[in-house]
Amino acid sequence: DQQVKQNSPSLSVQEGRISILNCDYTNSMFDYFLWYKKYPAEGPTFLISISSIKDKNEDGRFTVFLNKSAKHLSLHIVPSQPGDSAVYFCAASGGTASKLTFGTGTRLQVTL
Amino acid sequence: GAGVSQSPSNKVTEKGKDVELRCDPISGHTALYWYRQSLGQGLEFLIYFQGNSAPDKSGLPSDRFSAERTGGSVSTLTIQRTQQEDSAVYLCASSVDRDFYGYTFGSGTRLTVV
pLDDT digits (tens, 9 = 90+) for B58-114: 999 999 999 999 887 999 999 999 999 999 999 999 988 766 666 899 999 999 999
Find the mean pLDDT for residues B11-28: 96
Q: B109: which strand partners? A: B90
Which pLDDT score is estimated for B70?
85
- Whether A46 sits inside 8 A of B106 (CB atoms) is no
The one-letter code for the residue type at A45 is T
C-beta separation of B7 from B20 below 8 A: no
C-beta separation of B34 from B88 below 8 A: no
- Whether B42 sits inside 8 A of A41 (CB atoms) is no
- Whether A44 sits inside 8 A of B43 (CB atoms) is yes
In this structure, the strands spanning A106-111 and A10-14 are parallel
C-beta separation of A110 from A14 below 8 A: yes
Of B75, B79, B76, B97, nearest to B88 (Cα)?
Answer: B79
pLDDT digits (tens, 9 = 90+) for A7-58: 999 999 999 999 999 999 999 999 999 999 999 889 999 999 999 999 999 9
Which pLDDT score is estimated for A72?
97
**What b/e sequence results for A18-57 when a residue is b if at least 16 CB atoms lie within 10 Å of its CB, and e otherwise?**
ebbbbbbbebeebbbbbbbbbeeeebbebbbbbeeeeeee
Query: How would residue A96 be classed by pLDDT, with cut points 50, 70 and 90?
Result: low
In this structure, the strands spanning B65-69 and B75-79 are antiparallel
B101 and A CB contact within 8 Å? yes
Q: Which of A35, A64, A98 to mutate to test the interface with B (most CBs of B within 10 A)?
A: A98
CA A32 to CA A41: how far, in whole Å? 27
C-beta separation of A63 from A56 below 8 A: yes
Which pLDDT score is estimated for B1?
54
- Whether B42 sits inside 8 A of A102 (CB atoms) is yes
